[in-house]
Structure 1
Amino acid sequence: MTMWHYTKATDNRIGWGEHSGLGKAFFKIAIKNFILLQLLFLGLFAYCFGSLYQQTEHTHNIHIAFVDYDGGAIGASVRAAYESLKGDSFPTLLDAAPDAFPTRDDLRSAVCDTRYWGALYVSANASSRLQDALGGGPPALAYDPSDAMTLIWNEARYSTVADTAVLSNMQTLAEAARVAYTRTDGTGRLQRITSPEAFTVLASPWKLRQDDLQPTSQGSRAIYNTLVIILILIQEFFYLGAINGLYANLKIYARVHPSRVMVIRFLLSAAYCLVGSVCVTGMIWAFRAGWDVGALQFGQSWMVLWLFAHLNFQVIDVFTVWLPVPYVPMALIAWVIMNVTSILLPFELSPAFYRLGYLFPSHEVYQTLLDIWSRGCNPHLRYSLPILFAWWLVSCALSALGVFRRSHYAMLAEEAQAKQFSDRVTTALAHERERDAMHRRQRNEKEADEEGGLDYRRGHHDQHQRQS
């Protein structure tokens, strides 16, 4: 089958050499959308890339508390190493007095409350234990290098970022401190080391021990703040498109009372988002790969993702109600990119301008999820949940108002269509009556002509008889 089989495709069409207002209107709209889409995507690319710009140079905004419970050579080595590493691309080490955090649990609480991204501390009497071990003998054999220095951190909090910005940099600091300790002869015994056990201790005087509040090392963690959010948004958009198409095809807005339409749409969208959110949560749990989260965290994650999905369903519905059709896809892609950009990185690693991301529901849902997954160690619910509920309430109100707006214009369209149909019927009837009248006139004229012809023939016959 070739294009020549479609013979009607070229009938009564405007050719290349012909001109009409249609072509002018087409190019005017096409060029307008060409410019708008290019500017939109240029702006979105700039916005997204700008949030990641010079990420490493903002690492100094990552604050790590340092507490020296020992007060000896190891702490001095850490401070000396930090002075050599300090810069924009290295976390800021905040030296805190032991009195501010009397116990390790106080440090854990400070990290859990997100006052710091992590806390590095030197154990009490660590320097004296190291000094005894460098003397050789039983102290060297009993020495535990992982008992000297500990890092407290929460890997669930932007895990891919924390791995590099917190853990890797603190490991670098610990290694630099070992070099500084060796170079400065911290305990004053390095020159007198003779036993093999002491040399073993000197080779590895300490190992950075981790106190990870919520280990999060599974591979799927990389998409929790990207694809998961994007797919939820797209999932709502497609179902909304199907629902709106169904309502339009069945002319629901012109046939059913708006309040009933509003309730049915709300219940249908809530049920759809409920099922969709449990599927998303189920996939996160199915591929958690030993991640220490349980049934309580599953239920809480499901509920907050349900709220997030439903408010986005309503927000996208607001786009379709209040924006002209050509601008709806533009609004959708802008909404997706700006939401995802708000959670690509912690605000500490982005320019200050991007703190406007606090306004977007994706940032708040991710903060809430981090709090759930780490069992309260991201306590930002005081603002994240109110912002989410505010988005939900406003979007529900505008979406409900949109039902009345659609119903209003649907009735106007029905009335216009009915009037147009009535006008066509009236015109057709008038035309039919005019045609009937014309037919009657023609028939009368014909009958008159026939009667006139008959009278003429009768008169002619009578005259002929008289002449005869």
Structure 2
Amino acid sequence: MKPGKFYPRARQERPSIHDPDVRPRRLALLKAAVINFLALQFLFLGLFCYIFGSLFQQTGHIHNLNVLYVDYDGGAIGNAVRKAYNQMADTGFPTLVEEPALFYPDSSSIDGAVCDINYWAALYVAPNASNHLSAALAGGSAAASYDKSDVMTMVWNEARYSTVVDSAIASNLKSLAEAARVAYMNAEGKKLVQTLNSSDPAALSALSNPWVLSSNNLQETTQGSRLIYNTLVIILILIQEFFFLGYVNGLYQQFQLYTSVRPHRVAIVRQIISGTYTLVGALCTTGAIWAFRHGWQVSGGQFAITWMALWLFAHLNFLVLDVFTIWIPPPYVPMALISWIVSNVTSILLPFELSPAFYRVGYALPAHSIFNVLIDIWSSGCNPQLYYVLPVLFVYEVVGLVLSSIGVYRRSHYAMIKQEVDEKVIQERVEAVISERQGQIPTDGLHEEQQIETSESDGEAEGTMQRRATVATQPEEELMEIIRREMSRPRVEKATTSRESTGPSFNLPFKDYQASI
């Protein structure tokens, strides 16, 4: 079945591409296509290199993650941990930073060091752990009461880049604990065999598996949705604000608010609408996170604070995108949008410790700030970076409010200029049509005057003048039809300049109400 059967006008004859009138347009088309082809290819090549560069040789940067080590035991087990670390230490293993027990008098102070993000995690050996193990090998009540999980403990916060700490911290520390067991048996094996009570099953169990690494997870975060908190959640918020901005601009254009309402009122209402929309949108986002939080221990208070944080982030991004569409030429707005999304997401894909130093420019981006705020909220304050992330967010908010409000005046200014130009064009076209219709009168009049001279009849002359008056004075209904036809006739306009642009604009999907306007 031929498509032309349903679209007959598509088969209408057109000039050949070799036509002299078509050739200049063909060359201009090829030139524009090549330029834009290269621009887009270089843009996306740069974006791919930027995001892949942040992940490049991630394993080689794991040594930048510092882990606190405190040996409360001061015996064979603590020495075994040191020997195991010396064997495993390389660029693919976290750096173990040993501190004296005097600096951390109890385990709660170690929890505080990890909570205050002085270290990514901590590992400590319990006091008298070596003596308790030696006593357990001798059998009896000491073996029966021996607790394998009260020997070595790691402290970490899984809410802080959960996928990273799972593999780079938790897994490596578990491997370190196993390597320490092997080092302990190699160093103390002969002595242990001499003191072992082979008739006591509890003593044999302590020999075969002297300890189990305990885990003190400050905020367990194991739900599947955690994988997209620092990727798709941020991306969807940014895209959501872009589409909403397009609908807001479409609303203002369809109702011609820039030319019918004072700019300060437009700016106020625009901010109220955007604030309300982002408030509801942040509520929906937070609700979705909470709905799929299975096994995640977070409270209602954390829900409310998360909602407020995401509201701030969503609104400032609406303002940023609005500023883009005001001050950046329209052809470059899509490029700015995708660059903004990629740069923001790249700033939170990995901790800066695992990326090249260049990527620390992400400290200035709102996505990095909001993700650190969320980590602080979800782990009950165990990510104290609000002293710099909140000012970053509020700077974007305040500057965005100012520039967006100025942009309303800019848009109103050029909207009024465009309206005046359109009205002038319409007026000129209507006048041209009326003049064209009236221009037929002199020709008819000359013919009639010749009839007057030949007839030399006053009565015929009077009839001729009446006919001329009839031609000159069109009926009002016919004149209005001419005006409507001229206003609806398509006309070729020059491309809209960047100054006249109101940004991306989408037609409203539900607009039955316009019939009554």
Does the alignment reach a TM-score above 0.5?
A: yes
Tell me if the contact between 1:73 and 1:187 (Cα under 8 Å) persists in the aligned partners. Answer: no
Q: Distance in 2 between matches of 1:252 and 1:14?
A: 43
Alignment of 1:114-125 (within 5 A): 114-125=117-128
Partner in structure 1 of residue 494 of structure 2: none
1:140 Cα shift?
Answer: 1.3
Which one of the candidate residues 270, 287, 292 is aligned to 1:287?
292
Unaligned runs of 5+ in 2: 458-517
Is 1:97 the counterpart of 2:100? The answer is yes
Partner in structure 1 of residue 272 of structure 2: 267
SS at match of 2:122: strand
Partner in structure 1 of residue 16 of structure 2: 15
- Aligned AA for 2:291? A
- Aligned AA for 1:236? E
Partner in structure 1 of residue 385 of structure 2: 380
Q: Distance in 1 between matches of 2:271 and 2:190?
A: 71
**Identity across matched positions, percent:** 52
Alignment of 1:336-347 (within 5 A): 336-347=341-352
SS at match of 1:372: helix
Number of paired residues? 452
Can you list the C-alpha shifts for 1:5-35, whole angstroms capped at 9, x where unaligned?
Answer: 4332344633333224333333332222211
Which one of the candidate residues 375, 386, 399 is aligned to 1:394?
399
Which one of the candidate residues 411, 417, 422 is aligned to 2:416?
411
Change (3 A) 1:442 1:63: same
Q: Distance in 2 between matches of 1:22 and 1:9?
A: 20
Tell me if the contact between 1:136 and 1:198 (Cα under 8 Å) persists in the aligned partners. Answer: yes
1:59 Cα shift?
Answer: 0.4
> Relative to structure 2, which stretch is displaced further, 136-145 or 308-317?
136-145
Alignment of 1:246-261 (within 5 A): 246-261=251-266
SS at match of 1:185: helix
Can you list the C-alpha shifts for 1:215-262, whole angstroms capped at 9, x where unaligned?
Answer: 111111111101111111111111111111222222221221111111
Partner in structure 2 of residue 60 of structure 1: 63
Q: Distance in 2 between matches of 1:444 and 1:279?
A: 81
- Aligned AA for 1:14? P
Tell me if the contact between 2:4 and 2:11 (Cα under 8 Å) persists in the aligned partners. Answer: no
Tell me if the contact between 1:73 and 1:186 (Cα under 8 Å) persists in the aligned partners. Answer: no
Which one of the candidate residues 374, 385, 398 is aligned to 1:369?
374
Partner in structure 2 of residue 106 of structure 1: 109
Change (3 A) 1:324 1:26: farther
Q: Distance in 1 between matches of 2:189 and 2:119?
A: 29
Alignment of 1:198-213 (within 5 A): 198-213=203-218
Can you list the C-alpha shifts for 1:66-87, whole angstroms capped at 9, x where unaligned?
Answer: 0001111110000000000001
Which one of the candidate residues 217, 220, 229 is aligned to 2:225?
220
Can you list the C-alpha shifts for 1:190-225, whole angstroms capped at 9, x where unaligned?
Answer: 344242432210111111101111111111111110
Partner in structure 2 of residue 319 of structure 1: 324
Which one of the candidate residues 421, 439, 451 is aligned to 1:434?
439
1:139 Cα shift?
Answer: 1.2
Aligned CA RMSD, in angstroms, stands at 1.6
Partner in structure 1 of residue 312 of structure 2: 307
> Relative to structure 2, which stretch is displaced further, 275-284 or 323-332?
323-332
Q: Distance in 2 between matches of 1:128 and 1:138?
A: 14
Q: Distance in 2 between matches of 1:404 and 1:256?
A: 11
Alignment of 1:185-204 (within 5 A): 185=188, 188-195=191-198, 196-204=201-209
Is 1:179 the counterpart of 2:179? The answer is no
Q: Distance in 1 between matches of 2:405 and 2:359?
A: 32
SS at match of 2:439: helix
Partner in structure 1 of residue 487 of structure 2: none
Partner in structure 2 of residue 455 of structure 1: none
- Aligned AA for 1:49? F
- Aligned AA for 2:348? I
Q: Distance in 1 between matches of 2:453 and 2:174?
A: 118
Q: Distance in 1 between matches of 2:23 and 2:445?
A: 43
Q: Distance in 2 between matches of 1:308 and 1:425?
A: 51
Tell me if the contact between 1:91 and 1:165 (Cα under 8 Å) persists in the aligned partners. Answer: yes
Is 1:30 the counterpart of 2:33? The answer is yes
Change (3 A) 1:340 1:215: same
- Aligned AA for 1:269? S
Change (3 A) 1:347 1:194: same
Tell me if the contact between 2:258 and 2:415 (Cα under 8 Å) persists in the aligned partners. Answer: yes
Q: Distance in 2 between matches of 1:226 and 1:60?
A: 25
Tell me if the contact between 1:57 and 1:88 (Cα under 8 Å) persists in the aligned partners. Answer: yes
1:391 Cα shift?
Answer: 0.7
Tell me if the contact between 1:131 and 1:187 (Cα under 8 Å) persists in the aligned partners. Answer: no
Change (3 A) 1:256 1:244: same
SS at match of 1:30: helix
Q: Distance in 1 between matches of 2:342 and 2:190?
A: 55
